[in-house]
Amino acid sequence: MDYMTVTNNRVVSENGKFDRGLRTISHDEQHWLDAPERTKYKLGVTVYRCLHGRAPRYLADHLISASDVAPRRRRLRSANLNHLTVPRCRLSTYGYRAFYYAGPAVWNSLPDELRNSDSFDSFKWFLKTILFGHY
């Protein structure tokens, strides 16, 4: 957990600095995700918006459907599963955290029924349910 999350949890729950159970409070009572899951949530929502025309064009230009790549159309199942092409990563320091790599990687890791969701609200609800581990 980052510093701001811990501070906010303490203020909301009226716990002291060294009290235990802040993670339980943030998960069970406030329905907050931890930092890695929150990052996946934000990436998933941003990719969904890009694919449905609700995001800036400079972000959507980084997403290439697997079905748009010519050799994959005939051979791979990913061409029919609404997967995105994950580009090679050149930089080991920031490359894996860049949107053009992390966005398609998170999108491809989601279940098929979530990637094919009809409405934005149901997508967000189901994604948060998956990241909480209740699926």
Tens digits of per-residue pLDDT, 63-97? 988 777 756 555 555 556 778 988 888 777 777 88
SS3 84: strand
> In angstroms, what is the C-alpha Rg of the chain?
18
DSSP string, 62-87: T--BGGGSHHHHHH-GGGTTT-B---
Name residues whose C-beta falls within 8 Å of residue 62's C-beta, 6 or more positions apart in sequence.
Answer: 99, 100, 103
pLDDT tens sequence across 98-118: 898 999 999 999 999 999 998
DSSP state, 119?
S
How far apart are alpha carbons 60 and 54 in whole angstroms?
9
